Amino acid sequence: MKIYLISDNIDTLTGMRLAGVEGVVVHEKNEFRDALEKACSDPDNGILLLTEKFGRDWPDLVNDLKMAHQTPLIIDIPDRHGSGRRKDFITGYVNEAIGLKL
């Protein structure tokens, strides 16, 4: 199985290519949709990496894809600008999930 990246900037893709990960850079919603369809239709892709910007800009496409496909596994990653998540993201996630305050 392969890892494939859909990124919003060339710097993230360049860094991932150094690690052997192939991918594509897209900027428009229709380009993103086409890249998602192509990546999901390739049975060799086991993990699909998406930069966090796509989840913020087009959550409907990302969420629909996550619900419709069992593979590839879809993971949001921070891009060169850093993470868009709060500093206490993991703690908050655990608090919400199990109802305990850490």
Q: What is the mean pLDDT of the chain?
A: 85
Name which of 45, 53, 52 is nearest 23 in CA terms: 45
Which DSSP state fits 9? S
Which DSSP state fits 72? S
| The pLDDT of residue 80 is above 70 | no
pLDDT digits (tens, 9 = 90+) for 8-40: 999 889 989 999 999 999 999 999 999 999 999
For residues 6 and 76, which has the higher predicted lDDT (pLDDT)?
6
Reading the block at residue 59, the tokens are 């959550």
Contacts for 36 with CB less than 8 Å, ≥ 6 apart: 6, 48, 61, 65
Percentage above 90 pLDDT, the chain: 45
Is the CATH number of domain 2-98 3.30.1280.10? no
